[in-house]
């Protein structure tokens, strides 16, 4: 089959090449025929060498939907022919961390697909612990509508969940990229009263407004964001901040725009070590939470999509065929105005 492989020794780090079709190795595995996949900003982080856990010479990609074409004998909940969304995380469901819902740290898994084992930018994928990692799609939910459930929608939900949102809270989301837009959507669903979107990209801020995900939008290149957030909150600051941008500046913005005793939920992945100026922050009594997503709400998210309570359809702004995936990477990496996510079709 055709697959997009990451290898440090390749000139451009990625090549579209021929690989063996995957087979069932463990009795809990399933093989999924990829119907639609996408590129995640985290794939770019792997290519740039910023993901220490990534293995060399693996098929990239961890965000996809497809049809189950084979299951191991211990797969009970999923059958051949099922249309499924796939969790970007592999988890056993039985270890200490899985039992607490911390599946990102499953001792038998975590972020494996497209990082430590072959991923989805190919024709077929082997998914370990298929009963846990696959969510059946109801008839009313298309592949397009479910494409982001297993990764960025879960990540946005995770960011909002980290902030422990109370009804009416003012939530600031830094970064109005695909993950930030999902975080806004989930924060609203969880009862946030006001959502503030912050980005240096005007087009993305416009999208946040157009999709009614943000009530206020601020561009740090055009205004003093800290001042604006304080103006909206009787000089307190935001009740929760979700950081989905991933730069030194935005990390710093987190604690500056948060009110005392707020929670900052860090979803972004950084490319350098960062530090918190604790003396300056003293007395603000903030809680910082960070994390690789614990994507444990996929079923719930599919249901919310089915009930039309949330929709990520607008995130697909371009489509490429699998054969053109190298171009799709170049395109996605160059971040042309208005591009949010590229869908890769077989």
Ligand X SMILES: NC(=O)c1ccc[n+]([C@@H]2O[C@H](COP(=O)([O-])OP(=O)(O)OC[C@H]3O[C@@H](n4cnc5c(N)ncnc54)[C@H](O)[C@@H]3O)[C@@H](O)[C@H]2O)c1
Contact residues for Zn ion, defined by CB under 5 A: 40, 42, 91-92, 95, 98, 106, 151
Q: What is the DSSP letter of 46?
A: H
Q: Which stretch binds ligand X (CB under 6 A): 4-12, 26-34, 291-299, 311-319?
A: 291-299
153 touches ligand X by CB under 6 A: no
Burial class of residue 287 (count of CB atoms within 10 Å of its CB; 0-12, 13-18, 19+): middle
177 touches ligand X by CB under 6 A: yes
In the complex, minimum distance from the CB of residue 162 to ligand X, in angstroms, rounded to a whole number: 10
Our CB check for Zn ion shows the closer of 91 and 332 to be 91
Q: Which of 30, 179, 196, 214 binds ligand X (CB under 6 A)?
A: 179
E strand or H helix at 185: helix 178-189
Our CB check for ligand X shows the closer of 22 and 61 to be 61
Our CB check for Zn ion shows the closer of 151 and 239 to be 151
155 touches ligand X by CB under 6 A: yes
HEC profile of 93-160: CCCHHHHCCCHHHCCCCECCECCCECCCCECEEEECCHHHHEEECCCCCCHHHHCCHHHHHHHHHHHH
Partner whose footprint covers residue 346, from ligand X, Zn ion, none (CB < 5 to 8 Å by kind): none
Distance CA 43, CA 158 (A): 19
Which residues within the stretch 86-145 sit at the binding site for ligand X (CB under 6 A)?
A: none
In the complex, minimum distance from the CB of residue 210 to ligand X, in angstroms, rounded to a whole number: 15
φ/ψ (deg, to 5) at 280: -70, -30
54 neighbors 36 (Cβ within 8 angstroms): no
Which residues within the stretch 19-78 sit at the binding site for ligand X (CB under 6 A)?
A: 40-42, 45
Q: Which of 203, 220, 252, 284 binds ligand X (CB under 6 A)?
A: 220
How many residues would you count in the chain?
A: 346
Distance CA 106, CA 115 (A): 15
In the complex, minimum distance from the CB of residue 180 to ligand X, in angstroms, rounded to a whole number: 5
Partner whose footprint covers residue 95, from Zn ion, ligand X, none (CB < 5 to 8 Å by kind): Zn ion
Report the candidate in 119, 99, 98 with the shortest Cα–Cα distance to residue 43: 119
Q: Which of 67, 164, 201, 226 binds ligand X (CB under 6 A)?
A: 201
Tokens of 120: 């989805």
Q: Which of 22, 237, 265, 292 binds ligand X (CB under 6 A)?
A: 292
Partner whose footprint covers residue 247, from ligand X, Zn ion, none (CB < 5 to 8 Å by kind): ligand X
How crowded is residue 196: how many other Cβ atoms within 10 Å of its Cβ?
A: 25
Report the candidate in 89, 118, 93, 114 with the shortest Cα–Cα distance to residue 19: 118
- Per CB under 6 A, residues contacting ligand X are 40-42, 45, 151-152, 155, 174-180, 198-201, 204, 220, 244-247, 249-250, 267-269, 291-293
């Amino acid at each position: 089959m055709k697959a997009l492989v990451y290898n440090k020794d390749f000139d451009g780090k990625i090549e579209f090449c021929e690989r063996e079709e995957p087979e069932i190795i463990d009795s809990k595995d399933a093989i999924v025929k990829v119907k639609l996949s996408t590129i995640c900003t985290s794939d770019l982080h792997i290519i740039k060498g910023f993901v220490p856990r990534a293995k060399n010479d693996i098929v990239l990609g961890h965000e996809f939907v497809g049809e189950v074409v084979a299951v191991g004998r211990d797969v009970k909940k999923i059958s051949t022919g099922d249309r499924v969304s796939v969790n970007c995380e592999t988890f056993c469901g039985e270890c200490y961390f899985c039992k607490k819902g911390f599946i990102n740290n499953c001792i038998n898994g975590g972020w494996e697909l497209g990082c430590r084992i072959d991923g989805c930018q190919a024709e077929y994928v082997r998914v370990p612990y298929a009963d846990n990692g696959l969510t059946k799609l109801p008839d009313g939910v298309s592949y397009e509508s479910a494409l982001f459930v297993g990764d960025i929608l879960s990540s946005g939900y995770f960011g909002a969940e980290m902030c422990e949102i109370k009804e009416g809270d003012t939530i600031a989301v830094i970064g109005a990229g695909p993950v930030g837009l999902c975080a806004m959507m989930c924060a609203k669903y969880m009862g946030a009263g006001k959502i503030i979107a912050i980005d240096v990209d005007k087009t993305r801020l416009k999208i946040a407004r157009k999709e009614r995900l943000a009530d206020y939008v601020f561009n740090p290149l055009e205004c003093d964001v800290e001042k604006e957030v304080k103006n909206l909150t009787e000089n307190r600051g935001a009740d929760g901040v979700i950081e989905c941008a991933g730069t030194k500046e935005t990390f710093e913005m987190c604690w500056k725009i948060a009110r005392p005793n707020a929670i900052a939920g860090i979803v972004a992945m950084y490319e350098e070590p960062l530090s918190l100026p604790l003396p300056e922050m003293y007395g603000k009594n903030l809680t910082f939470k960070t994390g690789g997503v614990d994507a444990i709400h996929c079923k719930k998210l599919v249901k919310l999509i089915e009930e039309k309570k949330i929709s990520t359809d607008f995130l697909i702004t371009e489509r490429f065929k699998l054969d053109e995936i190298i171009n799709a990477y170049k395109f996605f990496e160059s971040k042309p105005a208005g591009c949010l996510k590229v869908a890769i079709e077989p």
